Chain A
Amino acid sequence: DQQVKQNSPSLSVQEGRISILNCDYTNSMFDYFLWYKKYPAEGPTFLISISSIKDKNEDGRFTVFLNKSAKHLSLHIVPSQPGDSAVYFCAASGLKLRGSNYKLTFGKGTLLTVNP
């Protein structure tokens, strides 16, 4: 059972436009969420995170929104740049998950292509 779901395997946007990547989760014990970016032949790189006590976190061009009632989060990239082309993974962990709050559960990823 996939506890973290990224239902769009790929997304293509034009340079300068907004990219919106979506993620859904099923485990209500998750309370910390992260986005990682991955280029081919490299490991995932931490991008941005959000705690469940917030509904928005912003860092430069990247904003993550969390809707706890819908168990949904999204990553917005504005404006999108060709260098943003990569696979984006949504991950979750749970401080309330007794003894395992370090364990990240990942989605399958979304391949973002930003066209010049």
Chain B
Amino acid sequence: GAGVSQTPSNKVTEKGKYVELRCDPISGHTALYWYRQSLGQGPEFLIYFQGTGAADDSGLPNDRFFAVRPEGSVSTLKIQRTERGDSAVYLCASSFGKKETQYFGPGTRLLVL
């Protein structure tokens, strides 16, 4: 069975540019999460979707970050006007429900030059 997939695996962009990161959750998982892992740190929560709606976006660092999940499956994390400090690994996870085990994708390594 397919796990969580994320594309691209690596993204290099210039400061000020716009990027989109995609997550395909495990089929049938209704809950989807985005985390960010900076160098030397553990993953930090960004946003949680239950179905199509963002149930909790309290971890998004500022309004340059936005995420959508229009059909309750694939999710896209969007970052506007990227800054060097946005460089990190962006991890997506999914689960059957919000109390269930979260399964992570391989991540997208974002480097902002």
**Quick one: which of B6, B45, B104, B105 contacts A103, CB cutoff 8 A?**
B45
Size of A's binding interface in residues, CB under 8 A: 24
**A-contacting 9-mer, from B12-20, B63-71, B94-102:** B94-102
What is the chain B residue whose CB lies nearest that of A107?
A: B42
**A45 — nearest CB in chain B belongs to which residue?**
B104
Which chain B residue shows the least CB distance to A38?
Answer: B104
CB distance from B106 to the nearest CB of A (A): 5
CB contacts (< 8 Å) of A105 on chain B: these are 45
Give complex CA distance A41, B33 in Å.
19
Residues in chain B near residue A109, CB distance under 8 A: 42
We find that the number of chain B residues with CB closer than 8 angstroms to chain A is 27
Stretch in A11-19, A58-66, A73-81, A94-102 with 4+ CB within 8 Å of B:
A94-102
In the bound complex, residues from chain A placing their C-beta under 8 Å from that of B44 are 106
Which secondary structure dominates where chain A touches chain B? loop
Q: Which of B47-64 contact A (CB under 8 A)?
A: 48, 56, 58-59
| Docked complex Cα distance between A89 and B37 (Å) | 12
In contact, B99 and A95 (Cβ under 8 angstroms):
yes
* Complex contact B41–A108 (CB within 8 A): yes
Give Cα distance in the complex from A101 to B97, angstroms.
11
Alpha-carbon distance A116/B104, docked complex (angstroms): 29
* A83 at interface, CB cutoff 8 A: no
* Contact between B33 and A102, CB atoms less than 8 A apart: yes
Contact B106 A41 (CB under 8 A): yes
CB distance from B30 to the nearest CB of A (A): 12
Q: Given A104-B43, A105-B45, A107-B42 in contact, is the A46-B91 Cβ separation under 8 Å?
A: no
User: Using a CB-CB cutoff of 8 Å, which residues 29-87 of chain A contact chain B?
Assistant: 34, 36, 41-46, 49
Interface residues of A (CB under 8 A from B): 4, 34, 36, 41-46, 49, 89, 91, 95, 99-109
Known: A42-B107, A104-B43. 7 other contacts (CB 8 A): A42-B106, A43-B93, A43-B104, A89-B43, A102-B98, A102-B102, A107-B42
User: Closest 9 CB pairs between A and B?
Assistant: A106-B42, A43-B104, A102-B98, A44-B104, A43-B106, A103-B45, A43-B105, A106-B43, A108-B42
